[in-house]
Amino acid sequence: AQLIEPTPAPELALLPQPQASAQGATPASARAKPRGRPPGSRNKPKPPVVVVRESAGAMRPVVLELAAGCDVAGAVAAFARRRGVGVSVLCGRGALAAVTLRLSTSAGTSRAVRLDGRFDVLSLSGTVLPAGAGAATTPFSVSLAGADGQVVGGTLAGEMTPADGGVLLVAATFVTAEVHRSAAAAAT
């Protein structure tokens, strides 16, 4: 076996350093590019976007409190006329003293039924379009719970009168409405 010795490393010669110019700067080729982000460039919070005017098509929330004895649908329609807006009732809570509903029957027909007594409103929705929208107002849909727990629902076919304590409606108003009518598909 023969012992192999490592060869010595060559000696490194020092290169002369470039002379600094009169202003103390070094040539651009000798300057090292700094690594990372420059100082003060971290992610800074951006100012919030502030909307200074509303869109014409924006909906605005509104709460309507209707007293006992008035007609709910009539009061919503009167509010829409006075303000010159459309009203979309999203939900309602309260108790009714009387209501006339159009109920569908099993034969595919419907009949109007007047209900008197205290009924709690489970859901209430409907839309009153602004004047000049060119479409008929949609009927209000109502679901009610009777004193014995029976649930009945249908579309409003007459007056809906709040009981003591009134009815509270949450709605949205709008100024303009685009009405799109869908044509029935032709039979092929």
Per-residue confidence of the chain (188 residues) as pLDDT tens digits?
667 777 776 676 666 666 655 555 555 556 777 777 777 777 778 888 887 777 777 889 999 999 999 999 999 999 999 999 999 999 999 999 999 999 877 677 778 899 999 999 999 999 998 877 666 667 899 999 998 889 999 999 989 999 998 999 999 999 887 777 777 655 54
The answer to whether residues 155 and 140 touch, using CB atoms and an 8 Å cutoff, is yes
The answer to whether residues 82 and 76 touch, using CB atoms and an 8 Å cutoff, is no
Continuous H helices in 33-171: 72-83
Q: What is the CATH number of the domain that holds 72?
A: 3.30.1330.80
Residue 160 has what pLDDT? 93
Does residue 53 fall inside a structural domain?
Answer: no
3-state secondary structure of 73: helix
Polymer length in residues for the chain = 188
Does residue 65 fall inside a structural domain?
Answer: yes
Residue 149 has what pLDDT? 87
Nearest CA to 139 out of 160, 122, 120, 118 is that of 160
Q: How far are the Cα atoms of 17, 71, 151 from residue 98, in angstroms, in the given order?
A: 102, 10, 15
CA distance 76 to 132: 17
Does residue 45 fall inside a structural domain?
Answer: no
Does residue 96 fall inside a structural domain?
Answer: yes
Does residue 72 fall inside a structural domain?
Answer: yes
| Domains held by the chain: number | 1
Does residue 124 fall inside a structural domain?
Answer: yes
Does residue 37 fall inside a structural domain?
Answer: no
Q: Supply the range of the domain harboring residue 91.
A: 60-174
Does residue 140 fall inside a structural domain?
Answer: yes
Nearest CA to 133 out of 172, 89, 183, 178 is that of 178
